[in-house]
Amino acid sequence: MKKRILVVSSANMDMVMNINTVPSAGETVIENGSYAYVPGGKGANSAVAISRLGAECTFLTRVGNDANANSLLELYKKEEIDISYIKKDDNAPTGLATIFVEKNGQNRIIVFAGANQKIDRETVSEALNDAPDALYMQFEINHDAILHAANEAYKKGIPVFIDAGPADKTFPLEKLPRLEIFSPNETETLGFTGIAPTDDDACMRACLELQKRIDAKYIVIKLGSKGAYVFDGEKGEMFPSYEIKAVDTTAAGDAFTAALTLKYLQCQDIALSCKFANCAGALTVSRHGASSSIPSLDETQAFFEKVIM
Ligand code: RIB
């Protein structure tokens, strides 16, 4: 039977600019690169990944009453995502992200959260009453909604998975209940612990620091092109990434944690799940855009079989 995952997180329209040079303060740069509006938002990217990787996904977010919202909702319907808990807000615009993608595929992102900040407790409680197999969240929405969702899910026995993006040092980690997986990237790890996870030893120290603030069965630090580090409360293990030509790293972390969550729910094997998630992340960086770059189950499975042989 298909797993049912409730994603309570963000939806944005991304304005992606493929550029040669990031301007300095006061400088105007004329670019010969390209730009496009593409659906994004950490929550939406993960919801698309969960659906493409073969689970049933309910996406709870809030959008504005505007043209961007209409295009995003069209995409979610096409991706077979359940949108019955997405509300339109008359007083805040749909979230917008400006993404600069440099030639090496690295990105810099500025997010205007807009309606994402208006997710309310009542809608979250209603969605949790549908008894999903898991709750999946990130930090791109209001703290109150995240804490309410996590604590209510925990009380109902629904496992909670958190991708700690974007880095928000003000988030009160201590108020979260027991989590199944907590997954920050390098910047978020540095933000929460003051430790840059540059090697195995630093990853272990960062996990021990995080453990003082959160109760998670697994902490999985996403290390970009280096792979991921998994800590089970006692031991840590590095899972190197798989080689692929990176053109745009946008949404790779979202695809990674979504794939990790789904695979882990299916097999309860963190090592296997991490390898599968590394495949989903690698395929995502090999393409341009946010949700547009997320691979299907068949593509991910084929890549997985090739790399683990
Ligand atoms: O993780 C990538 C996402 O971060 C982008 O799609 C952008 O909308 C921001 O939320």
- Residue 103's pLDDT is 83
pLDDT at residue 125, as a whole number: 98
Long-range Cβ pairs for the range 230-237 (8 Å, 24+): 230/270, 230/271, 230/274, 231/203, 231/204, 231/207, 232/270, 236/200, 236/203, 236/204, 236/207, 237/271
pTM for this entry: 0.96
Q: What is the pLDDT of residue 101?
A: 87
User: What domains, with CATH codes, occur in the chain?
Assistant: 4-10+41-93+116-308 (3.40.1190.20)
pLDDT of residue 31: 87
Give residue 161's Cα distance to chain centre.
10
What is the distance in A from the centroid of ligand 1 to the CA of 146? 18
Residue whose CA is closest, atom 9 of ligand 1?
41
116 lines ligand 1 (CB under 6 A): no
From the alpha carbon of 250, which atom of ligand 1 is closest?
2
Residue 191's pLDDT is 96
Ordered alpha helix ranges (H), 5-140: 42-52, 67-78, 121-128
Among all chains, which residue has been given the structure tokens 């961007």?
68
| pLDDT tens track, the chain, 309 positions | 899 999 999 999 999 999 988 889 999 989 888 899 999 999 999 999 999 999 999 999 999 999 999 999 999 999 999 999 999 999 999 999 999 988 887 889 999 999 999 999 999 999 999 999 999 999 999 999 999 999 999 999 999 999 999 989 899 999 999 999 999 999 999 999 999 999 999 999 999 999 999 999 999 999 999 999 999 999 999 999 998 998 888 999 999 999 999 999 999 999 999 999 999 999 999 998 899 999 999 999 999 999 987
User: What are phi and psi for residue 14, nearest 5 degrees?
Assistant: -100, 130
> Which residue among 12, 16, 108, 256 is best mutated to probe the pocket of ligand 1, counting the most ligand atoms within 8 A of its Cβ?
12
Query: Measured between alpha carbons, how far is 246 from 6 in angstroms, rounded to an integer?
Result: 30
107 CA closest ligand 1 atom index: 2
Task: Give 268 Cα–ligand 1 centroid separation in angstroms.
Answer: 28
User: Which of 72, 248, 254, 291 is the pocket-test mutation for ligand 1 (most atoms within 8 Å of CB)?
Assistant: 254
Residue 65 and residue 305: Cα distance in Å, rounded? 44
Predicted local distance difference test score (pLDDT) of residue 254: 97
Q: From ligand 1's centre to the CA of 40, what distance in Å?
A: 5
State the pLDDT at residue 93.
98
Instruction: Give the ligand 1 atom nearest the CA of 253.
Output: 1
Q: Active-site positions?
A: 254
**What's phi and psi for 229, nearest 5 deg?**
-115, 125
Question: Which CA distances in Å does 4 have to 78, 112, 293?
Answer: 18, 29, 23
